[in-house]
């Protein structure tokens, strides 16, 4: 299993220097504020090599990424995820097309 899973990368039309994506836990349970190195490696894993200038992380809950829908504990249904936004020194451009492994 991976330490984290990265989902739904996007470069917003209005902010071409930003890379947004969702992080879900794999073997790890938290990222706190993250580090520059962490987000540079996350971008590489998504097929984008950038010079990371800054980043933000927002913890939230989502039913979309859960494997435990229908469990009695609400935390199983509403899994903890993080919305990340990474800012690059230059515009990012189009993301590479992904193929299934």
Residue 83 domain flag: yes
Structure tokens that stand for 16 in this block: 């071409």
Residue 23 domain flag: yes
**Whole domain around residue 55: which residue ranges?**
4-88
Residue 96 domain flag: no
Residue 60 domain flag: yes
Answer for the pair 79, 26: CB distance below 8 angstroms, yes or no.
no
Residue 97 domain flag: no
Residue among 61, 56, 96 at smallest CA distance from 77: 61
Answer for the pair 17, 75: CB distance below 8 angstroms, yes or no.
no
Distance in angstroms (rounded) separating the CA atoms of residues 72 and 54 = 39
* Average of per-residue pLDDT values in the chain: 88
Q: Look at the chain and report how many structural domains it folds into.
A: 1
Residue 98 domain flag: no
pTM for this structure? 0.85
Structure tokens that stand for 89 in this block: 């020194």
Distance in angstroms (rounded) separating the CA atoms of residues 95 and 17 = 12
Beta strands in 1-101 (DSSP E): 4-10, 18-25, 52-62, 79-88
| pLDDT tens string 26-52 | 777 778 888 999 999 999 999 999 999
């Amino acid at each position: 299993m991976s330490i984290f899973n990265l989902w739904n990368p996007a470069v917003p039309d209005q902010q071409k220097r930003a890379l947004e994506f969702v992080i879900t836990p794999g073997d790890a349970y938290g990222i706190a504020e993250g580090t520059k190195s962490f987000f540079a490696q996350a971008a590489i894993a998504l097929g984008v090599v950038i010079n990371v200038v800054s980043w933000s992380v927002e913890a939230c809950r989502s039913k979309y990424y859960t494997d435990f829908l229908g469990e009695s504990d609400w935390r199983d249904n509403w899994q903890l995820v993080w919305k990340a936004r990474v800012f690059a020194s230059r515009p990012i451009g189009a993301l590479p097309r992904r193929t299934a492994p």
